[in-house]
Each structure stands twice: as C-alpha cells, then as structure tokens.
C-alpha cells in the first residue's frame, strides 16, 4: 500500500503542453485600449452578421407554401 502511495505520489508529472497560437484562433487581448476595442468591434460585427441572417426563417417559407395549398 505504502509502496503504491510512494510510487504514485512521487511519479514525475507530465510536462504541460506549450501554449501555441493556432491559426484561425483569436489571439488574447493586448491590454492596449485602442487595439482591443477594434478586436471587440470585430467580434460584435461577426455576432450581428450571424444574428441577423434571415436563413433562420427558412422554415417560415416552407410552412407558408404548405398553407397556401391546404
């Protein structure tokens, strides 16, 4: 039992994988207001583009066509 505890407790921990900036993933903020503000604007415009996409109403098109033909 004691041997087990010692083996597990003293086993060297695997080294943490280095942080890498992956392509396409947004880099963290810089702490410089004018730069970070633009990054924030970029994110907001991206969200608005998704949020206002009329494709969210595609099923309305199909049900209206169904009801036209009842």
Give CA separation, 65 vs 42, 55, 68, in Å: 38, 16, 5
Cβ neighbours of 13 (radius 10 Å): 5
Examine residue 10 and tell whether it contacts other proteins (CB under 8 A).
yes
Examine residue 20 and tell whether it contacts other proteins (CB under 8 A).
no
- Can you read off the two tokens belonging to residue 1? 């039992």
Examine residue 59 and tell whether it contacts other proteins (CB under 8 A).
yes
Site residues, other proteins (CB under 8 A): 2-3, 6, 10, 12, 21, 26-30, 32-35, 37-39, 41-42, 44-46, 48-49, 51-54, 56-57, 59-61, 63-70
């Amino acid at each position: 039992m004691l041997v087990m505890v010692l083996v597990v407790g003293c086993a060297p921990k695997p080294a943490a994988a280095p942080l890498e900036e992956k392509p396409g993933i947004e880099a963290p903020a810089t702490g410089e207001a004018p730069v970070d503000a633009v990054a924030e604007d970029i994110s907001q415009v991206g969200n608005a583009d998704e949020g206002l996409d009329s494709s969210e109403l595609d099923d309305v098109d199909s049900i209206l066509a169904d009801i036209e033909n009842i």
